[in-house]
Amino acid sequence: MKKILATLGIITTATLVPVSGQATDKTQISLITGPFGTGSYVLGNAVEQIVAKHSDKVQVTSSETPGLVYNAKQLNRDPDMKKNTFMAFTTGINYLATSGQKPFDNKLPDVKLIGNYLLGSVWLATFDPGIKSAADLEGKTIALGRPPQILWTIEPMHIIRDGWQMEDKITIERLGTKDAAQALLNGSVDAAIVGGYADPLTGEFKPSPQTVELLAAGKKLYHIPWGKDAVQAVIDKGIAMNHLSVPAGSVEGVDSDLDGFFDAIAWVSYPELDDDAAYEVTRTLIDNVGQFGDYHALGKLMSAKSLAYGWDPENIHPGALRAYREAGIIE
């Protein structure tokens, strides 16, 4: 933690100034990621290295933080950071932040996209062949992630409550992703949250670790779709999620397209980030997106078009939007 705070102390005093002593002066900006070892942390380090190799205009310094909620709180505690910092975040967490819901104590301003790096999707699965739909879960027990987890708990709860209208008909345990899988394996719950990360443009899907564990259990895993209507009911309430169909065959046991949702896990900033810096970072990401797979397996799901997938132009940072339009990704 000392290392984290020391680094953030440097970030808060940094300004948009050229870095001297190099062949070409570079504008210094900061990226705050997530805890050590997470995909957010590893891919954030990849941004730093890729930009260092391929941009002669900006230099990115990537730093570990306690988590994505922390990132937004930190930037809003120190407005000067907004001028030269972007961060790892998700559309789901942004919804909680802008509406002032827990774990946020007050409403925070909206963020603007720099680029997606993962698209997370989850659903319920079971070893019981008799459970095929929401109606079959009536009177049953299901396991979700920990209470604060937006993708693994909060968004599924919105679907169960507002899409399925089944909250009072299902016993819900909030155990954490690993413990949810263990509870399904030992039979203490009837279904558990599973999922992973998708490239919606190619249909490629990489299951999360606990999903892989369940798939390797030696028993057939049956997957329960949320359904398009249930997802749309949640979207209509203003929850930041998007439709996603997990293709048949992309995960063992998914025998037909699975209608669900995704939450964009992205690098974002506040509007105060310098337009030219945002443009140069985004342009470099677009031109070199194929290199992220060299740093993390999930980086193989990234593509130029998926960097802005699911975002309306008004929600993209103006500098980043210029780069996407120049590349022909957005009209």
238 and 174 share one domain: yes
127 and 260 share one domain: yes
pLDDT at site 171: 98
Q: Residue 331 domain-assigned?
A: no
Residue 211 sits at φ, ψ, to 5 deg, of -70, -40
Provide the domain count of the chain.
Answer: 2
97 and 185 share one domain: no
Q: Which residues contact 265 (CB under 8 A, 6 or more apart)?
A: 40, 88, 89, 90, 116, 117, 118, 119, 120
Q: How far apart are the first and last CA of the chain?
A: 43
Q: Which residues contact 22 (CB under 8 A, 6 or more apart)?
A: none
Residue where one domain finishes, among candidates 219, 238, 264: 264
307 and 225 share one domain: no
pLDDT at site 12: 39
113 and 26 share one domain: yes
Residue where one domain finishes, among candidates 264, 293, 318: 264
Per-residue pLDDT of the chain (331 residues; tens, 9 = 90+): 333 443 444 333 334 444 444 445 899 999 999 998 888 999 999 999 999 999 999 999 999 999 999 999 999 999 999 999 999 999 999 999 999 988 899 999 999 999 999 999 999 999 999 999 999 999 999 999 998 888 999 999 999 999 999 999 999 999 999 999 999 999 999 999 999 998 888 888 999 999 999 999 999 999 999 999 999 999 999 888 899 999 999 899 999 999 999 999 999 999 999 999 999 999 999 999 999 999 998 999 999 999 999 899 999 999 999 999 999 999 8
Helix axes 68-77, 91-99, angle to 10 degrees: 50
106 and 138 share one domain: no
47 and 19 share one domain: yes
Residue where one domain finishes, among candidates 213, 236, 264: 264
Residue 258 to residues 104, 223, 228, 261, Cα–Cα distance (Å):
33, 8, 10, 10
239 and 304 share one domain: no
Q: At 24, is the secondary structure helix, strand, or coil? A: coil
259 and 281 share one domain: no
171 and 212 share one domain: yes
Q: What's the CATH code of the domain at 47? A: 3.40.190.10
pLDDT at site 37: 83
Q: Which helix (H) or strand (E) holds 95?
A: helix 91-99
Q: Could you give the CA distance from residue 216 to residue 74 in angstroms, rounded to a whole number? A: 40
161 and 258 share one domain: yes
Instruction: Kindly provide the b/e burial profile for residues 101-120, where b requires at least 16 CB atoms within 10 angstroms of the residue's own CB.
Output: eeebeeebeebbbbbbbbbb
Q: Residue 221 domain-assigned?
A: yes
The range of the structural domain enclosing residue 153 comes to 120-264
142 and 216 share one domain: yes
Q: Could you give the CA distance from residue 121 to residue 196 in angstroms, rounded to a whole number? A: 6
Q: Which two tokens stand for residue 67?
A: 């988590």
pLDDT at site 39: 87
Q: Could you give the CA distance from residue 199 to residue 197 in angstroms, rounded to a whole number? A: 7
